[in-house]
């Protein structure tokens, strides 16, 4: 193989790696849909969006009551309670609830509910 051909292949491999890595920056674990960039900061490992257990969410008169405990979301270090008013939730791309905590674990930046609102 010539030097030029080898160099071109290396450039293609590096470019593909960068594109694939950046394409996952705002994806939930199932990879079928993506979190909007305005909601999620970071990557799959260090991002602030994550699926949360159905048991953490209850439907109330005024909205979704979300109670998160350590382990429910990778950023949560103590219990947090959020009230997400009806109409402010975003549609989840799967059958799970998801929440984005930004700029700190004390603030629910975006909340995703499944189509049926479970």
How do the pLDDT tens digits run along the chain, 118 residues long? Answer: 564 554 344 434 333 333 333 444 455 655 678 899 899 887 666 689 999 999 999 999 999 999 999 999 999 999 999 999 999 999 999 999 999 998 889 999 999 999 886 5
Long-range contacts of range 79-82, CB-CB < 8 Å, 24 or more positions apart?
80/105, 80/106, 82/108, 82/111
Token pair 């998801």: residue: 98
Report the predicted TM-score, pTM, of the whole model to 2 decimal places. Answer: 0.72
Do 48 and 75 meet the contact criterion of CB atoms below 8 Å apart?
Answer: yes
Q: H-helix or E-strand containing 23?
A: helix 3-23
Compute how many other C-beta atoms are within 10 angstroms of the C-beta atom of residue 118: 14
- Phi then psi for 24, rounded to 5 degrees? -100, 10
Give dist(CA 78, CA 85) in Å, integer.
23
């Amino acid at each position: 193989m010539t030097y030029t051909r080898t160099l071109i292949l290396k450039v293609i491999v590096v470019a593909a790696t960068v594109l694939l890595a950046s394409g996952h920056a705002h994806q939930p674990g199932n990879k079928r849909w993506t979190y909007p960039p305005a909601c999620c900061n970071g990557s799959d490992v260090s991002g602030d969006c994550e699926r949360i257990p159905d048991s953490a969410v209850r439907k109330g008169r005024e909205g979704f009551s979300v109670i998160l405990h350590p382990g429910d979301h990778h950023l949560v270090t103590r219990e947090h309670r959020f009230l997400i008013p009806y109409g402010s939730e975003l549609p989840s791309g799967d059958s799970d609830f998801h929440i984005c905590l930004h700029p700190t674990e004390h603030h629910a930046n975006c909340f995703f509910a499944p189509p049926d609102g479970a």
